């Protein structure tokens, strides 16, 4: 099993290949598929947004069995996401968790809009996503009234990633203990829709 540092380097190298158009990802690898029938050992866990433009395996140029991916709008942290990460860490000893946000995130933008111009939502489930993002972005919206919406959104996206990282580091005694021992890294990153690059900014 890779160390957390080695796992992070593997993701960075894969993203570099993706950006340069040199991806090696093979969706028709029947040998690898057969190898995985009886088990898996993913080297990284990705908590990412559901946005169709940010598929983690492709962005990091990884194949079958390499990543344990959890996707939800706004890459938010809720009990089911924490439980899924705990499962992967405990079962597979996966050493790295990455919270992967992305530029122009619609869920974060919707939260900012809701803060600025509150409207009744037809969906209580959609409201639950907005309410989980709100604590990360509301202070920015209140303090930085001088920022244009686009720049405010950029800061809010990163703030939301940082909040999710913090929730994973401290919202689970199981994860916190392993993280504090150094055996598990929980880091934040942002994918650029424009360049394809992933910036690991919260480590």
Task: Tell me the per-residue pLDDT of 99-153, one tens digit each, with 9 for 90 and over.
Answer: 999 999 999 999 988 888 777 766 788 888 999 999 998 888 665 565 677 888 9
Percent of the chain beyond pLDDT 70?
A: 94
Whether the CB-CB separation of 95 and 43 falls below 8 Å is answered with: yes
Q: Could you give the angle at the alpha carbon of 68 between the alpha carbons of 64 and 70, nearest 5°?
A: 125
Under the banding of pLDDT at 50, 70 and 90, the label for residue 182 is very high
What class is the 4-107+161-202 domain? alpha beta
Distances (CA, A) of 39 to 34, 35, 64, 93, 97: 10, 8, 11, 13, 20
Q: Which tokens is 134 given?
A: 């709100």
Q: Which of 165, 203, 198, 183 is nearest to 92 (CA)?
A: 183
pLDDT digits (tens, 9 = 90+) for 37-75: 988 999 999 999 999 999 999 999 999 999 999 999 999
Q: Which tokens is 97 given?
A: 């968790």
Predicted structure pTM score: 0.92
How many Cβ atoms from other residues are within 10 Å of residue 177's Cβ? 11
Whether the CB-CB separation of 75 and 47 falls below 8 Å is answered with: yes
Strand 198-202, strand 185-191: pairing: antiparallel
Roughly what angle, to the nearest 10 degrees, separates helices 124-143 and 149-170? 110
Mean per-residue pLDDT for 16-37?
88
């Amino acid at each position: 099993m890779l160390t957390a540092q080695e796992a992070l380097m593997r993701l960075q190298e894969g993203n570099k290949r993706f950006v340069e158009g040199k991806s090696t990802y093979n969706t028709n690898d029947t040998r690898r598929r057969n190898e995985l029938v009886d088990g898996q050992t993913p080297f990284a866990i990705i908590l990412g947004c559901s946005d169709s433009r940010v598929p983690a395996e492709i962005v990091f140029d990884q194949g079958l069995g390499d990543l344990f991916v959890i996707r939800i709008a706004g890459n938010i942290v809720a009990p089911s996401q924490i439980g899924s990460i705990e499962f992967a860490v405990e079962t597979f000893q996966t050493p790295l968790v990455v919270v992967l946000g992305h530029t122009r995130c619609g869920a974060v933008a919707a939260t900012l809009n809701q803060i600025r111009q509150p409207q009744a939502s037809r969906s209580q489930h959609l409201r639950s996503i907005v309410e989980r993002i709100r604590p990360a972005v509301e202070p920015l919206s209140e303090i930085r009234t001088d920022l244009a919406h686009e720049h405010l959104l950029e800061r809010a996206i990163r703030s939301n990633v940082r909040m999710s990282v913090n929730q994973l580091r401290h919202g689970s005694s199981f994860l916190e203990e392993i993280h504090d021992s150094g055996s598990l890294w929980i880091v934040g990153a942002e994918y650029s829709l424009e360049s394809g690059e992933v910036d690991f900014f919260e480590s």
